[in-house]
Amino acid sequence: MEAAFGLWLVLLGVSHGVETSCDGRQDGAQCYGALGGTVVLQLMDDASEIFRFLWSNKKTILSWRDNKIVSNQIGNRSSFTPSNGTFMINDLSRTDGGDYTLIMFDSDGKPAEQRALQLTIQAPVSSVLLDSECLSQGEMRVSCSSEGGDSPQYSWTLDGQTLTDAQLLSGSNESENITLRQDVSGQLVCSVRNHISSVSKEETISTCGFIFIACILSNGTHVSQWVLEASNTLCIKPTTASTTTTEGKEPSLTVSNSSSTNVTDHSLLICGLRAAVVILILIGIAVYFAWKKKKYKIAEGSAVPRKMDYRDDSALMIEVRSSASKL
């Protein structure tokens, strides 16, 4: 018995399709129904408190008087519940959409209140397709499309978070087609919805095999670009960029280790040559001043008269010879 009852509910759900509800007690209410589905419209609180009313769409649909239904033009696929004032329409078609008017009368037959309601019939979104492709510079273009569905609206998330401008090269979080930056990867979800349905599709995406390299080549050329890692011939030891970019900017230039070593060795060689030149100059200056000093001493010695050393007996001989001459 329970199994039969469950089967009946399933069949009922299939026959009615998507069910929506709308509060039409406010004037100008905007209501939506699913094509082939069911809509429940609350027209009033309690019909027993109203002497007479007419609900029409170009022509009278439902007529009520003295606590009973006078007529229902779509009675074969609708029902009215007086106790809560709801009107249910099944198997909705495009022609059910339009502007409806509810006119309530008092016991004297005079119009007491009037309300307007607009009903829009939409086809529900049945499925969502995701199509992705890698572009020439490692970007990824992703397209989201839906089957069926009137006035679809799109939204994107990556790992449960709304896509940001920093992750997008083109498109927006509400675009049907987007282009992701080279370093974006994770669980990508596209959701498509309208007023009566919502369907989503997810796909795990990874980078397209590109890396960002930044280095200085041996000829002094600066290299800063995205390249396919499998066929990269630039920067033997490239320093790859972080997988997270800021405000859509590419990673800053970083000099690779091999280039830094070459530059360092070149600088040390220049410093060594300069030090050798300075030492040679200092040695030359020292030799020059030593030679000048020696030359000065030699010149000073030649300008002083020689001092003659005489023995004591030589002076005595001069005196004796002088005495002998006098004699």
Burial class (CB in 10 A: 0-12, 13-18, 19+), 110: exposed
Which amino acid belongs to residue 24? G
Task: Phi first, then psi: give them for residue 258, nearest 5 degrees.
Answer: -65, -40
21-30, 43-52, 248-257: which has the minimum mean pLDDT?
248-257
Give the helix ranges, DSSP H, for the chain. 2-16, 257-302, 312-326
Region of residue 134 (left: phi > 0; alpha: psi -120 to 50; beta: else): beta
pLDDT confidence of residue 55 = 97
Q: How far from 76 is each of 73, 80, 94, 222, CA to CA, in Å?
A: 8, 12, 17, 78
- Per-residue burial over 153-180, b if 16 or more Cβ lie within 10 Å, else e, is ebbbbbeeeebeeebbbebeeebeebeb
Asked whether the beta carbons of 26 and 45 are under 8 A apart, the reply is: no
Q: What is the pLDDT of residue 302?
A: 58
Res 286 pLDDT > 60: yes
pLDDT at residue 154, rounded to an integer = 95
Mean pLDDT of 138-153: 92
Q: Which residues pair with 31 in a beta bridge?
A: 119
Q: Is the pLDDT of residue 267 over 80?
A: no
According to the model, what pLDDT value does residue 237 have? Answer: 59
pLDDT for the residue 308: 47
Mean pLDDT of 202-231: 81
* Average of per-residue pLDDT across 304-317: 47
Residue 311 has pLDDT above 50, yes or no: no
For residue 79, name the pLDDT band (cuts at 50, 70, 90).
Answer: very high
Residue 191 near residue 198, CB atoms below 8 Å:
yes
Q: Give the pLDDT score at 303.
A: 53
Report d(CA 98, CA 45) in Å as an integer: 23
Q: Strand pairing partners for 127?
A: 147
Query: Whole-angstrom Cα distance, residue 211 to residue 116?
Result: 61
In whole angstroms, what is the distance from residue 211 CA to residue 233 CA? Answer: 12
101-135 confidence digits (pLDDT tens): 999 999 888 999 999 999 999 999 989 999 999 99
What does DSSP assign to residue 229?
A: G
pLDDT digits (tens, 9 = 90+) for 220-230: 778 777 877 77
Distances (CA, A) of 303 to 111, 293, 299, 300: 148, 16, 7, 6
Neighbours of 316 (CB within 10 A): 10
Q: Say if residue 212's pLDDT is above 60.
A: yes
pLDDT at 167 over 80: yes
Arithmetic mean of pLDDT, 90-94: 96
The rounded percent of the chain whose pLDDT value lies above 70 is: 76
Amino acid at 172: S
- Point out the least confidently predicted range of 60-64, 213-217, 310-314: 310-314
Split at pLDDT 50, 70, 90, the class of 245 is: very low
CA torsion, ordered 319, 323, 324, 327, to nearest 10 deg? 170
pLDDT number for residue 299: 67
Please, what is the average pLDDT of the chain? 80
Give the chain's length.
327
**pLDDT at residue 264 tops 70:** no
Q: Are 263 and 218 in contact (CB under 8 A)?
A: no
Out of 1-10, 128-137, 212-221, 313-322, least confident range: 1-10
Residue 161 has pLDDT above 60, yes or no: yes
Q: Are 143 and 130 in contact (CB under 8 A)?
A: yes
Decide: 39 and 33 in contact? Cβ < 8 Å.
Answer: yes
* Cβ atoms of residues 23 and 30 within 8 Å: no
Percentage of the chain exceeding pLDDT 90: 52
Cα separations in angstroms, 325 against 149, 318, 320: 162, 11, 9
pTM reported for the whole predicted model: 0.60
Residue 140 CA to residue 134 CA, distance in Å, equals 5
Distance from C-alpha of 124 to C-alpha of 34, rounded to nearest angstrom: 6
Angle subtended at Cα 145 by Cα 143 and Cα 149, rounded to the nearest 5 degrees:
160
Q: What is the pLDDT of residue 313?
A: 47
